[in-house]
Structure 1
Amino acid sequence: MTVNPAHSALWPAPHASGAVDATVHVPGSKSVTNRALVLAALASEPGWLRRPLRSRDTLLMAGALRAMGVQIEETVSSSSSVAGGPDGTGEAWRVLPTGLHGPATVDVGNAGTVMRFLPPVAALADGPIRFDGDPRSYERPLHGVIDALRQLGARIDDDGRGALPLTVHGGGALDGGPVSIDASSSSQFVSALLLSGPRYNQGVEVRHTGASLPSLPHIRMTVDMLRAVGAQVDTPESGGEPNVWRVTPGALLGRDLTIEPDLSNAQPFLAAALVTGGKVLIPDWPERTTQPGDRLREIFTEMGGSCELTEFGLVFTGSGAVHGIDVDLSDVGELTPGIAAVAALADSPSTLRGVAHLRLHETDRLAALTKEINELGGDVTETADGLHIRPRPLHGGVFHTYEDHRMATAGAIIGLAVEGVRIENVATTAKTLPDFPELWTGMLGQ
């Protein structure tokens, strides 16, 4: 395997000379794009995705579906309906669900959505589908999906690992029905089964049997998107049993969907306003959304900023002071690295709770944040389910990213206030946020 020179290069994180004042067009949501791709591939008619995110994770998802026989046509239009940025142009993907078949090989990279959402799809294919990926993907939990599919009648070869690599021997259909799983290590186990559930002969009933579920907003996102394409879904919130989700079998509609901006990827830019006492506008911030990143409005306001949702988007303004926070992030764990970076620059201690599951993400995010912030002079300790952060004067140094996009953006946040921070492999941000270095320096006017 050839190594991209950018992976080993050190990126000098730009230092802010004053308050930022910028408009940042954040690309589309990865979580919405990849769910929309799966639903469009399983639909009974063609559909459109407008302003989709083009990043490593979404291109892996599109490539995987193409490998299984789905046609995805990419177009660029100057129509305002697909406008993707200030230049008035944008991209649209037309998805033609032309049948699922093998043999095929799927590269999941290190994308949780691809490695978990697509084995249930592959069970519907006619022929074997092999799944492989980056070395880290072998360490990420997949047993919930594998065990559930076996309960539902699928044949899977994984040599007993409960992890990648594996082969799903698709039989062209799957009976489906009730299944019990422990999804406490990843809510994606639930979403994966729900997304394909309408295509199973009996639908699917997913019962979570473990400890508390992390990232519930992502399951709500899955449910909302299923309902939007015509699926009938019963949930605990709609009067069903606790920890049980039911999807009725039925055809899915093709949709013309415009993808929302990725609110979690807006985090570093909002943090920049908070840390520098400046102002950032994120255009097209939705009034209503199931994206976990929407909680940034509440969290960063408590940490010293203020926000206003206007006709142009979200305007976030820093006050010049950054306060510590005691917060349960169990529903929004992906926001932890950025919040930890801001907390390391605050005027009082912070405790981030409810995120033990982050030890199983792209890297062990709790250990990585502790090590990297402390090596810059910080005082971070791991707890059983999170981090305790005592602000200390920080100094420059190398901030390692562990092939984790959110570690890279966390380092960039610290670099705004601390001179001499150099980020290893900033290119890893392409996983979900293409062109991050350019967006970052553009925000700073550099």
Structure 2
Amino acid sequence: MTTPAPHDAPWPAPTSIGPLDTTVTLPGSKSLTNRALVLAALADGPSVVRRALRSRDTLLMAQALTALGASVVTDGEDWAVTPLDGSVPEDRASVDCGLAGTVMRFVPPAAGLVRGDVAFDGDAHMRKRPVGEILAALRTLGLAVDDTDGALPFTVRGTGAVPGGPVVIDASASSQFVSALLLAGARFDAGVDVRHDGEPIPSLPHVEMTIAMLRDRGVAVDTSEANRWVVAAGPIAAHDEPIEPDLSNAAPFLALAAVSGGSVVVRDWPAATTQAGDALRGLLPQMGCTVSRVDEGLRVAGPSDGWRGLQGLEADLHDVGELAPAVAALCALAQTPSHLTGIAHIRGHETDRLAALAAELGALGADVVEHPDGLTITPAPLHGGVFHTYADHRMAHAAVIVGAAVPGVLVENVATTGKTFPDFAGFWSGLF
């Protein structure tokens, strides 16, 4: 097994030399873990988040909620949460968002429910990610927020209560804008009535995930009208939440089956889920893979001649944009052209993923044309070289997928995968 290189030494991605047949157990879902932590911190009694993902993003969320006065015990895989009591431990609390969009967007509405100032900041790139729509919405709902240009850093001046009520937002940049208001909305005095006015919302499965988790805790959510979500005021019931495996993190492993011409089983793949990663079951067959359910979970088998048998893909990834880097990497290995659309919003993720994918895949020889909302990828010979990740875990996933087929791919800052998958590099190398 190889070990991750230091940050300043690019890590050599292992290359497959034949069909790989394996079964993998993946860490828990970041999206589910961080939503469960927020709801547990706002609940009417203690809860346990079972098989919680331990990663940078989830630990940042635990620390943020602790700063608001909750208790989150992160020992072991089951995390015990005692709800916040309405006052920050000190006169002024600080929240480090790191590169976690869920922390930057989900925690401010909860901060309004405590008495005291809560200051938010994060990594340098986070100051470029959109959050102004949330801050404007919180002001409409009765909160005081100090910010400059609708970005980090900002301060929420909590009074212990949020009036709530109706608010109109443009969530076309991120579905998290909707989820952020819904998660805390039941604790607002008048609940919350969120209306979206703008281009279609990306990644809608994440909103559906939020709604399902609220209803599991007894919260009434009216979704009878398109682009409107009404959360009734009331308690959020304590609820022990078992966390599913992270199906978006499954993308590079299932792609490895396609690249090597072998098969990979992801253990415990849920029969029904709100996770966007479940879309892989429909995307991979279009590229020439075979997908089937087995007793252990989900099995993907690649073409018999591996990546040389991959077919290009015409796909609108608007609802599952987080899969775009892994899918684009497979498309760069395919034998026919691909056109990925509907993903303009991923320019506002950890990095501008469209520009980054075009640059990094292109640097390895791929023929990539960047469009405002997607990529066109035409077959071209690939070669090794340094693949920059821009501190983006999904870019690192794209790099190792290409590296599994192309010798000499060097991944810059592979450790960024720790955002959602601790020791990803060691785990990945062990498969070879």
What stretches of structure 1 of length at least 5 have no aligned partner?
Answer: 77-90
- Counterpart selection for 2:113 from 97, 102, 124: 124
Distance in 2, Cα, partners of 1:119 & 1:66: 13
Match of 1:319 in 2: 303
Cα deviation, 1:320-361, whole Å, max 9, x if unaligned, reads 321101000000000000000000000100000000011111
- Counterpart selection for 2:263 from 268, 279, 295: 279
- Counterpart selection for 1:99 from 78, 85, 91: 85
Matched, 1:439 2:430: no
Does structure 1 retain, via aligned residues, the 8 Å contact 2:183–2:214? yes
Aligned-pair identity (%): 57
What stretches of structure 2 of length at least 5 have no aligned partner?
Answer: none
Q: Following TM superposition, by how much is the alpha carbon of 1:412 offset from its aligned partner in structure 2, in angstroms?
A: 0.2
Matched, 1:260 2:248: no
Cα deviation, 1:362-399, whole Å, max 9, x if unaligned, reads 00000000000111111001112100000211000000
Does structure 1 retain, via aligned residues, the 8 Å contact 2:281–2:291? yes
Match of 1:392 in 2: 380
Matched, 1:152 2:141: yes
Distance in 2, Cα, partners of 1:256 & 1:165: 33
Distance in 1, Cα, partners of 2:140 & 2:280: 38
The alignment's TM-score, normalised by the length of structure 2, stands at 0.96
Question: Aligned runs of 1:124-203 on 2, under 5 Å?
Answer: 124-159=113-148, 161-203=149-191
- Counterpart selection for 1:329 from 314, 317, 323: 317
Distance in 2, Cα, partners of 1:221 & 1:197: 15
- Counterpart selection for 1:363 from 334, 351, 357: 351
Match of 1:61 in 2: 61
User: Residue 419 of structure 1 aligns to a residue in which SS?
Assistant: coil
Does structure 2 retain, via aligned residues, the 8 Å contact 1:406–1:429? yes
The change in CA–CA distance for 1:306 and 1:283 in structure 2 (over 3 A counts) is: same
Distance in 2, Cα, partners of 1:323 & 1:57: 35
Amino acid at match of 1:398: V
- Counterpart selection for 1:401 from 386, 389, 398: 389
Distance in 1, Cα, partners of 2:84 & 2:169: 31
Match of 2:196 in 1: 208
User: Residue 227 of structure 1 aligns to a residue in which SS?
Assistant: helix
User: Residue 307 of structure 1 aligns to a residue in which SS?
Assistant: strand
Q: Following TM superposition, by how much is the alpha carbon of 1:5 offset from its aligned partner in structure 2, in angstroms?
A: 7.9
Match of 1:84 in 2: none
Match of 2:364 in 1: 376
Distance in 2, Cα, partners of 1:14 & 1:288: 33
Match of 1:348 in 2: 336
Distance in 1, Cα, partners of 2:303 & 2:5: 39
Q: Following TM superposition, by how much is the alpha carbon of 1:68 offset from its aligned partner in structure 2, in angstroms?
A: 1.1
User: Residue 6 of structure 1 aligns to a residue in which SS?
Assistant: coil
Does structure 2 retain, via aligned residues, the 8 Å contact 1:100–1:122? no
User: Residue 336 of structure 2 aligns to a residue in which SS?
Assistant: coil
Q: Following TM superposition, by how much is the alpha carbon of 1:6 offset from its aligned partner in structure 2, in angstroms?
A: 2.6
Distance in 1, Cα, partners of 2:430 & 2:301: 18
Distance in 1, Cα, partners of 2:248 & 2:414: 17
Distance in 2, Cα, partners of 1:11 & 1:379: 24
Match of 1:305 in 2: 289
- Counterpart selection for 1:339 from 323, 327, 337: 327
Distance in 1, Cα, partners of 2:279 & 2:5: 36
Cα deviation, 1:193-226, whole Å, max 9, x if unaligned, reads 0000000000000000011110000000000000
User: Residue 299 of structure 2 aligns to a residue in which SS?
Assistant: strand
Q: Following TM superposition, by how much is the alpha carbon of 1:311 offset from its aligned partner in structure 2, in angstroms?
A: 2.3
Distance in 2, Cα, partners of 1:95 & 1:185: 31
Amino acid at match of 2:259: V
Cα deviation, 1:269-319, whole Å, max 9, x if unaligned, reads 000001111100111100000000000011011111111112211111112
Distance in 2, Cα, partners of 1:380 & 1:100: 52
Distance in 2, Cα, partners of 1:26 & 1:100: 36
The alignment's TM-score, normalised by the length of structure 1, stands at 0.93
Does structure 2 retain, via aligned residues, the 8 Å contact 1:24–1:439? no
Does structure 2 retain, via aligned residues, the 8 Å contact 1:23–1:443? no
